[in-house]
């Protein structure tokens, strides 16, 4: 197995070269059978649940103050996928979400206070992608360049209960409409029934559906919905499965199931990503989503990322927060740091 180069500049080239399922072929050999996959996943070392939760609790006790806190708050904003995934979403709602993504704190912009950075992406349902793209205009692009990308949930989000044909069409539509990132859900029913091959094939097929006419791929985030996987061992297997099948990101949850993202689950997924990096030299992203509403919680995630995968993961193409109300809380904390007084919800925009 040859480690692939992973310097940020080479990223696009690596993505283009990496056809779906290639990772699995490299790791498990050319004869990619369901049996080989099962042997690999079930052969993974079990997770020490008590140790994992203790480690997460230990990381959550770090105290981040003053200038470190100011840095952390701005980093959190740069890593947010600002999300609206409601049945009641309208084009107007998406436009206001985009406005917030581009200028999170208009009050700071109007005064001489320091202006917060833009968020990484807006995350919407597939049919809202054209509205998001239109509203972003020239600001649409790679978050590493200070622009905002468009992420779309696809594959019959959030349940994933639809035929393969429908899921692929869902994905292709979103990519054709200009989505830069696709958040897919895995078939949890198949995974829990032990049908790993089916889940694997589906991720590979969706990755293929992310291919644009020019041969490049939309970034694929694979949602494991850890709240439905019940055990840490399952989360670990699903993480490996998603990475082997070509996922660019592994994401905890849809946000529609409770529990959504938790610190121990995210820590476990970061450990898998770190192990994958050590094995292949290739960096995979992690996105906790759902239930992260307070800056304090988000800072704990940053600490966990830095301590587990490494600080180089704290950039938009390797770590994201899927959140909606988190942004306002971060802005309130920023205002508190700037003015020395507690701020209130009247001083940030309504979502």
Partner 1 sequence: MGARLEIPKTYKLYVGGKFPRSESGRTYEVTTPKGGFLANAALASRKDARDAVVAARAAVSGWAGATAYNRGQVLYRVAELLEGRREQFVAEIRAAEGASEAKAAAQVDAAIDTWVWYAGWCDKFSQVVGAGNPVAGPYFNLSVPEPTGVVAAIAPQGVAGGSLLGLSRVVAPILVSGNTVVVVPDETRPLSAITLAEVLATSDVPGGVVNVLTGSPAELAPWLAGHADVNALDLTGAGDLEWVDLVIDGAETLKRVRDPEPGVPDLSLERITTVTETKTVWHTKSLI
The reply to whether 293 sits near partner 1 by the rule CB under 8 A is no
**Minimum distance between the CB of residue 39 and partner 1, rounded to whole angstroms?**
51
Nearer to partner 1, 239 or 335 (CB): 335
**Minimum distance between the CB of residue 74 and partner 1, rounded to whole angstroms?**
21
Nearer to partner 1, 32 or 347 (CB): 347
Chain Cα centroid distance, residue 203: 16
Pick the catalytic residue from 167, 170, 287, 329.
Answer: 287
Among the residue ranges 90-98, 157-165, 176-184, 339-347, the one whose residues contact partner 1 (CB under 8 A): 339-347
Note the helical H segments in 210-254: 232-244
Chosen residue from 30, 45, 341, 350 binding partner 1 by CB under 8 A: 341
Chosen residue from 4, 103, 159, 343 binding partner 1 by CB under 8 A: 343
CA angle 168, 148, 19 (to 5 degrees): 40
Pick the catalytic residue from 105, 183, 248, 329.
Answer: 183
- Matching residue, tokens 């988000």: 298
CA distance 138 to 234: 42
Residue by residue, DSSP assigns 126-154 as: GGGHHHHHHHHGGGBS-GGGT-BEEEEEE
- Answer yes or no: are the C-beta atoms of 263 and 291 closer than 8 Å: no
CA distance 228 to 201: 20
DSSP 45: P
Chosen residue from 345, 349, 350, 351 binding partner 1 by CB under 8 A: 345
Encoded one letter per residue, x for contact with partner 1 by CB under 8 A and - for no contact, window 158-187 reads ------------------------------
Beta bridge pairs of residue 185: 223
The reply to whether 347 sits near partner 1 by the rule CB under 8 A is yes
Q: Is 287 a catalytic residue?
A: yes
**Minimum distance between the CB of residue 340 and partner 1, rounded to whole angstroms?**
8
The reply to whether 346 sits near partner 1 by the rule CB under 8 A is yes
**Minimum distance between the CB of residue 68 and partner 1, rounded to whole angstroms?**
18
**Minimum distance between the CB of residue 99 and partner 1, rounded to whole angstroms?**
23
**SS3 at position 215:** coil
Torsion of CA 278, 280, 285, 291, to 10 degrees: -50
**Minimum distance between the CB of residue 341 and partner 1, rounded to whole angstroms?**
4
CA distance 205 to 253: 21
CA distance 268 to 302: 14
The reply to whether 29 sits near partner 1 by the rule CB under 8 A is no
Nearer to partner 1, 112 or 346 (CB): 346
CA distance to 16, 64, 179, 184, 299, per residue, from 212 (Å): 10, 42, 10, 17, 36
CA distance 234 to 268: 11
The reply to whether 344 sits near partner 1 by the rule CB under 8 A is yes
Q: What is the 3-state secondary structure (H, E, C) of 83-123?
A: ECCCCCCCHHHHHHHHHHHHCCCHHHHHCCCCCCCCCCEEE
Pick the catalytic residue from 81, 251, 297, 329.
Answer: 251
Among the residue ranges 231-239, 249-257, 261-269, 342-350, the one whose residues contact partner 1 (CB under 8 A): 342-350
Q: Is 173 a catalytic residue?
A: no
Kind and range of the H or E run holding 178: none
The reply to whether 342 sits near partner 1 by the rule CB under 8 A is yes
Nearer to partner 1, 243 or 348 (CB): 348
**Minimum distance between the CB of residue 227 and partner 1, rounded to whole angstroms?**
26
- Residues tagged active-site: 183, 251, 287
Binding site for partner 1 (CB under 8 A): 335, 340-347
């Amino acid at each position: 197995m040859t480690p692939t180069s992973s310097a940020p500049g080479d990223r696009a080239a690596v993505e283009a070269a990496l056809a779906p399922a290639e990772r699995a072929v490299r790791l498990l050999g050319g004869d990619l059978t369901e049996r080989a996959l099962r042997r690999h996943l079930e052969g993974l070392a079990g997770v020490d649940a008590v140790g994992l939760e203790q480690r997460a609790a230990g990381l959550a006790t770090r105290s981040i103050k003053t200038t470190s806190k100011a840095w952390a708050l701005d980093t959190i904003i740069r890593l947010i996928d600002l999300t609206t995934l409601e049945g009641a979403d309208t084009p107007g709602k998406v436009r206001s979400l985009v406005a917030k993504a581009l200028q999170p704190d208009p009050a700071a912009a109007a005064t001489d206070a320091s202006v917060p950075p833009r968020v990484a992406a807006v995350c919407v349902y597939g049919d809202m992608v054209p509205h998001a793209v239109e509203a972003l205009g020239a600001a649409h692009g790679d978050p590493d360049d200070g622009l905002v990308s468009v992420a779309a949930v696809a594959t019959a989000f959030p349940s994933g209960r639809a035929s393969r044909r429908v899921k692929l069409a869902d994905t292709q539509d979103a990519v054709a409409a200009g989505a830069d990132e696709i958040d897919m859900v895995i078939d949890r029913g198949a995974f829990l029934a032990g049908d790993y091959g089916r889940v694997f094939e589906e991720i590979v097929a969706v990755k293929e559906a992310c291919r644009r006419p020019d041969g490049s791929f939309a970034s694929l985030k694979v949602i494991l919905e850890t709240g439905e996987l019940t055990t840490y061992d399952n989360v670990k297997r699903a993480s490996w499965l998603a990475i082997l099948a070509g996922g660019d990101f592994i994401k905890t949850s849809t946000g529609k199931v409770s529990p959504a993202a938790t610190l121990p689950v995210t820590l476990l997924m970061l450990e898998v990503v770190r192990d994958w990096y050590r094995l292949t030299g290739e960096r995979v992203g992690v996105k906790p989503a759902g239930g992260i509403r307070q800056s304090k919680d988000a800072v704990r995630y940053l600490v966990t990322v830095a301590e587990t995968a490494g600080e180089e993961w704290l950039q938009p193409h390797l770590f994201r927060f899927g959140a909606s109300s988190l942004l306002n809380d971060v802005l309130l904390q920023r205002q508190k740091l700037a003015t020395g007084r507690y701020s209130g919800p009247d001083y940030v925009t309504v979502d």
